[in-house]
């Protein structure tokens, strides 16, 4: 077991373009000194220059999958030179009367160096194992798909 922490800080300020409401901008502090500017998404009166919680959830799923993929690939003797992903998430109304991230699609692009090269089936197995073991994916109800090449 491990415990993970963050600090959230918000102070009332006027909204930049809507004087009838407040600014959604705030700071998230991680590991004591890493600060990330966060707001609601633009659709919810947020600042489009800031990260939004939905993007942070999406990046957490993608990052977790990548970290498991890299660990499994290394354990199996593959030399991963680079890994890039352009993940997407769908925020949709649900039958429960609210909105939620219902679907995540990861699209990792992996470059493998060295003499040992996986065939497509071996690469798919590594992704499947990373998918199965990803802590973040196991913590959410949204479906998570992987389009790998």
For the stretch 86-133, pLDDT in tens is: 999 999 998 888 999 999 999 999 999 999 999 999 999 999 999 999
CB-based contact 30:38 (threshold 8 Å): no
pTM across the whole model: 0.92
Indicate whether 11 pLDDT > 80: yes
pLDDT at 149: 65
- Other beta carbons within 10 angstroms of residue 73's beta carbon come to 23
Tell me the per-residue pLDDT of 22-59, one tens digit each, with 9 for 90 and over.
999 999 999 979 999 999 999 999 999 999 999 999 99
Class of domain 53-146: alpha beta
| Number of continuous H segments (helices) and E segments (strands) in the chain | 2, 8
Q: Which residue has the tokens 């990548």?
A: 66
Sequence ranges of the domains in the chain = 7-44, 53-146
């Amino acid at each position: 077991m491990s415990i993970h922490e963050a600090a959230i800080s918000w102070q009332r300020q006027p909204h930049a373009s809507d004087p009838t409401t407040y600014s959604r901008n705030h700071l998230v502090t991680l590991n004591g000194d890493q600060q990330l500017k966060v707001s609601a998404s633009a659709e919810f009166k947020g600042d489009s220059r800031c990260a939004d919680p939905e993007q942070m959830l999406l990046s957490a799923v993608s990052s977790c999958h990548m970290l498991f993929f890299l660990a499994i690939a290394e354990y199996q003797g593959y030399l991963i030179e680079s890994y890039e992903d352009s993940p997407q998430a769908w925020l949709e109304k649900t039958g429960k009367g609210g909105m939620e991230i219902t679907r995540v699609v990861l699209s990792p692009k992996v470059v493998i160096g060295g003499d040992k090269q996986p065939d497509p089936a071996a690469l798919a197995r590594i992704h499947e194992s990373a998918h199965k073991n990803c802590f973040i994916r196991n913590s959410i109800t949204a479906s998570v798909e992987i389009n790998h090449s």
